[in-house]
Structure 1
Amino acid sequence: MSDQPTPDPTMTRIGEAVQLGRSGAPAEARDLLTALWNEIGPTGDPLHRCTLAHYLADLQDTADAELAWDERALAAATDLTDDRAQRHHGTLQVRGFLPSLHLNLADVHRRLGDPTRARAHLATASSLVGHLPDDPYGELIRAGIQHVDEALAAGSTDRLDSHPG
């Protein structure tokens, strides 16, 4: 199986919207991703739903809205198979998505003042980091787990500087 991506117009559209958000137009990116979510629907392709919800969470104006999108991303991941992910890119495995998804949920629960749920998701993220590669992405997630853990220990509900939003 090739590690080269298979062209997927929906994933391309998601990527373009994400780049738009990162280039300083988060409201436009949010609108594009929301419209795309409406096209895909809540029972559409799980890779599309997971990816889109994961990025859309970071573009929300409130932690409550972010939580809803983070929960959608995790729910979609439970419907996603390695086979489907690998049709997009040969190296993808669902278990590699899970530490980040649980980290995001830990952080948003922390910011919403729910340390019990935050710690539960953080523990799950920590238990899954062994599935991450030793590369910049893996290092980013491991550092994020440490930052959220430190913020929880300090009782902080502030947005972390490392948060992508």
Structure 2
Amino acid sequence: MAERQEQAAPDAVMTRIGQVVMLHHAGDREEAQRRFLDLWAEIGEDGDPLHRCTLAHYMADTQDDPADELAWDLRALTAAGEIADDRVAPQDGALAVRSLYPSLQLNLAADYLKLGHGRAARAHLRRARVASEFLADDGYGNGVRAAIGRLETRLREDGPADGPGPRPPRQRP
């Protein structure tokens, strides 16, 4: 019974991350970045993997430098691998954890493309496409699949070359 109540209780850290995401979406990127860094310091490198994954995933969006964006997206992917299946959605945990990977891999593909590493971008995009089979047929899943398709089209148009190219927009569903 206590375990059920704990699972139903709101997660204060996730709420705080969500508030900073709203601040960022409202246009205050610098303040959002500062608050994300403060939260990162509180959570710590060994903190809850779901918190680290979520925070790093959104922190990447506040970066100006594509290399910094990549570093945060890599932190998010690493943390995702540490999330217990029941941490995301107790009723269907394994599927819920797997549903994080398409977006994480998509963001890495976009990061590598910005840095001019077409081969790495294609590899992560393939992983995103494979992982997308676990997405539900809903707004989020369809949005991620559409973003994967857009980046696939862009990579086909850009050709096989590795090297700096124009910075594509951040891929968010």
Fold in common (TM above 0.5)? yes
In 1: Cα distance, 2:119 partner to 2:8 partner: 39
Across the aligned residues of Structure 1 and Structure 2, the Cα RMSD in angstroms comes to: 2.0
1:91 CA drift (Å): 5.3
Q: Deviations over 1:2-46 (max 9, x none)?
A: 9x9530110011000000000111111111011100111111000
**Shift in CA distance, 115/30, structure 1 to aligned 2, threshold 3 Å:** same
1:97 aligned partner: 100
In 2: Cα distance, 1:64 partner to 1:119 partner: 17
1:110-149 to 2 correspondence within 5 Å?
110-149=113-152
Q: Unpaired runs of 5+ in structure 1?
A: none
In 1: Cα distance, 2:171 partner to 2:149 partner: 13
1:76-87 to 2 correspondence within 5 Å?
76-86=79-89
In 1: Cα distance, 2:65 partner to 2:154 partner: 19
Q: Deviations over 1:90-142 (max 9, x none)?
A: 55611000000000001110111001111110001101111001111111111
Which residue among 52, 70, 73 is the counterpart of 1:70? 73
Contact 2:113/2:168 (8 A) holds in 1: no
Which residue among 148, 158, 161 is the counterpart of 2:166? 158
Percent same amino acid at aligned positions? 46
Of structures 1 and 2, the one with the larger relative CO (CA 8 A, separation 6+) is 1
**Shift in CA distance, 66/123, structure 1 to aligned 2, threshold 3 Å:** same
2:46 aligned partner: 43
In 2: Cα distance, 1:113 partner to 1:6 partner: 44
Contact 1:21/1:29 (8 A) holds in 2: yes
What TM-score results when the alignment is normalised by the length of structure 2? 0.86
Contact 1:144/1:162 (8 A) holds in 2: no
**Structure 1 residue ranges (4+ consecutive) displaced by more than 3 angstroms after TM superposition:** 159-164
State the number of aligned residues.
161
Q: Unpaired runs of 5+ in structure 2?
A: 160-164
In 2: Cα distance, 1:128 partner to 1:155 partner: 24
SS at match of 1:139: helix
1:55 aligned partner: 58
- Larger Cα-atom Rg: 2
SS at match of 1:79: coil
1:149 CA drift (Å): 1.0
What TM-score results when the alignment is normalised by the length of structure 1? 0.90
1:34 aligned partner: 37
SS at match of 1:29: helix
